[in-house]
Amino acid sequence: MSSTSRYADSHRRSLQDPAGFWAEVAEAIHWDRRWDEVLDDSAAPMYRWFAGGRLNTCYNALDRHVEGGRADQPALIYDSPLTGTVASFSYRELRDRVALLAGALQQQGVKAGDRVVIYMPMVPEAVMAMLACARIGAVHSVVFGGFAAPELAKRIDDAAPVLVVSASCGIEPGRVIAYKPLLDHALELAAHKVKRCIVLQRPQCLATLVAGRDVEWNAALAGVKPAPCVSVAATDPLYILYTSGTTGKPKGVVRDNGGHAVALYYSMQAVFDARPGEVYWAASDVGWVVGHSYIVYGPLLRGCTTILYEGKPVGTPDAGAFWRVIAQHGVSTFFTAPTAFRAIKKEDPRGELIGGYDLSRFRALYLAGERCDPDTIHWAQDKLKVPVVDHWWQTETGWPVAANCRGIQELPVKPGSASVPVPGYDVQVLDNDGHPVPADTIGNIVIKLPLPPGTLATMWHNEAGYREHYLTRYPGYYLSGDAGYLDGDGYVWIMSRIDDIINVAGHRLSTGAMEEVLAAHPDVAECAVIGVADQLKGQLPLGLVVLKAGVQRPHEDIVQELVGRVREQIGAVACFKQAVVVQRLPKTRSGKVLRSTMRSIADSQPYNAPATIDDPKALDEIGSALKGLGYALGNL
């Protein structure tokens, strides 16, 4: 990579002159009042962006485009194979519906600065509720629909909302999940008492409303006047998002209004190369950060058409579901999790279903959410014939930290790497004592402060927790919690979470590197490697693999081949001697594999199944498989 490339110039400037760099980007956003200071470092390390500025995020996402000539362009396409529904809302229609709902929120007593918890499935009304809160300066906190009542109660207690917006049910393949009983139970458990709930009745399951507290959606809108946009400070919170899988006190990531709007607008152009008027699709859920950033705010701030998809990558109806959506709606840029692609590859390993769809407008695929194995990237490149961009970021950062920034300059791809640091991020790798490590040496991934705009400002009502979790271990740096390395070209390689680096007889080894080897086996659909306790060597790696559909070979032969591959490609130092074939890997609903939970099972340690787990039965299956190997019995 040339040190004088367009990307290198942009990245260098963003670090040497962050105020000048971000002030230039911010010109694309409508400000009610310009900022006094681009970067306020007076309370470092608690930095603030665009201090003194005032704006409204909803205005920038909707009204600005209506007034600027995009009124009739589709803003939001709702595609639900689960209900057989496709609906489109123009920028004018979406603005009008959001303004009316914002008026309804005000009529229910919601004011600027108040919190509103949104507990909804993937329906247009969820997007409208988020934008309606932003319109009146209220702070939304979206909780993934179908979350267990105790976890929802924790978030209600932490955010202390004046109102909850919910729906009667969510829909999964083959089943309907009633939300209202979960919400009612959560409201009973919560110490904070919510006086009002607005409930969307879906015909698949009607909810029983509590008189005096619950208001049906259409009734709440009756006779209401549309609300205008309320100007808020750039440093005022836009939303709180609780990190998935938390136990005890939830970690409420706070996103501000000004830096968020600037950063997401920039990322849509620089990272995703998405152009106004194009169709952009992130196949995620509004309950996760990807849904916030790239279903709702990012595409709308950029003037794109965004897709809200209520379905799955397989089973709705088959492994061609994604290709159908891309073809039907003319998607240019598509963003999903590697887990989704592994599921598709497992069901349709030769990619035969792709040929049935016209993907001529499809320009690029982006993958993030967990580390993507090179085999999945090669498969996607080969079958789709478009650039595949593996990139890395977190709930806390809100937008990509490392990526191939195709909107600036497309760089060579290194499968297995998240590419290079995005402008604004000074990514470094430190050892346990805080010293920089040489290139190609695994260590702790950190980001030098200040973090760029759009990243977490703090944790809700818990600045001490923010400092403790992210800033204390390495003063002057943000601790990502991920382990990996920078190679000689400056590419970022995320190998695992810090606690997934295992210590085998004194050697620090990455489970991610071993997973790369396993995933490259032609019979393997997806895999995980965990470190299990060993009295002699401290830890030993154990592989868990899911096979592709139709594989009939004896499992013993496949396991033997996997062990041989790791020995050949990583070396005997890895001590990789055992693997087991399982039907599925336990995951969160966002697709992250529960490696630490599986490690606890293998080591016969107590564990709590995370609230975000997709199917608790998967843990029972893992327990049975590990017992068959002699683990999970305390007899290592």
Helix (H, G, I), strand (E, B) or coil at 558: helix
pLDDT at position 507:
64
The H or E element that residue 38 is part of is strand 37-40
Residue 70 within any structural domain of the chain: yes
pLDDT at position 568:
82
Residue 335 within any structural domain of the chain: no
Asked which of 106-115, 138-147, 491-500 is least confident by mean pLDDT, the reply is: 491-500
Sign of the torsion formed by the C-alpha atoms of 138, 115, 285 and 469: positive
Per-residue pLDDT at 264 exceeds 90: yes
Residue 38 within any structural domain of the chain: yes
**pLDDT tens digits, one per residue of 180-226:** 999 999 999 999 999 999 999 999 999 999 999 999 999 999 999 99
277 with 413, same domain: the answer is yes
Per-residue pLDDT at 575 exceeds 90: no
Q: For Cα atoms 268, 293, 490, give the angle at the middle one, nearest 5 degrees.
A: 60
Residue 490 within any structural domain of the chain: no
pLDDT at position 636:
34
The H or E element that residue 338 is part of is helix 338-347
pLDDT at position 635:
36
480 with 573, same domain: the answer is no
91 residue type, one letter: Y
Q: What is the mean pLDDT of the chain?
A: 92
431 with 528, same domain: the answer is no
Q: What is the mean pLDDT of residues 256-269?
A: 98
442 with 540, same domain: the answer is no
Sign of the torsion formed by the C-alpha atoms of 21, 27, 32 and 34: positive
Asked which of 101-115, 125-139, 373-387 is least confident by mean pLDDT, the reply is: 373-387
The number of distinct structural domains making up the chain is 2
463 with 596, same domain: the answer is no
Per-residue pLDDT at 505 exceeds 70: no
160 with 211, same domain: the answer is yes
422 with 472, same domain: the answer is yes
The DSSP line for 236-295 is: SEEEEEEPTT--SS--EEEEESHHHHHHHHHHHHHTT---TTSEEEE-S-TTSHHHIIII
**pLDDT tens digits, one per residue of 604-629:** 888 877 777 777 888 888 888 888 88
Per-residue pLDDT at 238 exceeds 80: yes
Cis amide linkage into residue 450, ω under 30° from 0: yes
**pLDDT tens digits, one per residue of 309-331:** 999 999 999 999 999 999 999 99
142 with 254, same domain: the answer is yes
Its domain, for residue 618, covers: 505-628
Q: What is the mean pLDDT of residues 96-125?
A: 98
Residue 328 within any structural domain of the chain: no
Give the whole-angstrom CA distance, residue 168 versus residue 186: 15
Using alpha carbons, list the distances in angstroms from residue 246 to 253, 416, 461, 586: 12, 28, 16, 17
Q: What is the mean pLDDT of residues 588-606?
A: 83
pLDDT at position 632:
62
Neighbours of 514 (CB within 10 A): 29
Residue 605 within any structural domain of the chain: yes
Give the whole-angstrom CA distance, residue 256 versus residue 48: 9
pLDDT at position 634:
43
Residue that terminates a domain, selected from 452, 485, 518: 485
Decide which of 295 and 500 is more confident. 295
Give the whole-angstrom CA distance, residue 377 versus residue 511: 19
564 with 421, same domain: the answer is no
Q: How confident is the model at residue 114 (pLDDT cuts 50, 70, 90)?
A: very high
Per-residue pLDDT at 3 exceeds 80: no
CATH number at residue 529: 3.30.300.30
Residue 372 within any structural domain of the chain: no
Q: Residues 264-286, buried b or exposed e (16+ Cβ, 10 A)?
A: bbbbbbbbbbbbbebbbbbbbbb
Q: How confident is the model at residue 246 (pLDDT cuts 50, 70, 90)?
A: very low
Per-residue pLDDT at 461 exceeds 50: yes
Counting every residue, how long is the chain?
A: 636
Q: How confident is the model at residue 538 (pLDDT cuts 50, 70, 90)?
A: confident
468 with 608, same domain: the answer is no
Residue that terminates a domain, selected from 485, 518, 549: 485
What's the pTM?
0.85
Residue that terminates a domain, selected from 485, 514, 541: 485
Q: What is the mean pLDDT of residues 548-564?
A: 93
Residue 606 within any structural domain of the chain: yes
Q: How confident is the model at residue 516 (pLDDT cuts 50, 70, 90)?
A: confident
145 with 264, same domain: the answer is yes
592: its two tokens:
């992250």
Per-residue pLDDT at 247 exceeds 50: no
Give the whole-angstrom CA distance, residue 14 versus residue 20: 8
477 with 513, same domain: the answer is no
CATH number at residue 154: 3.40.50.12780
Per-residue pLDDT at 250 exceeds 80: no
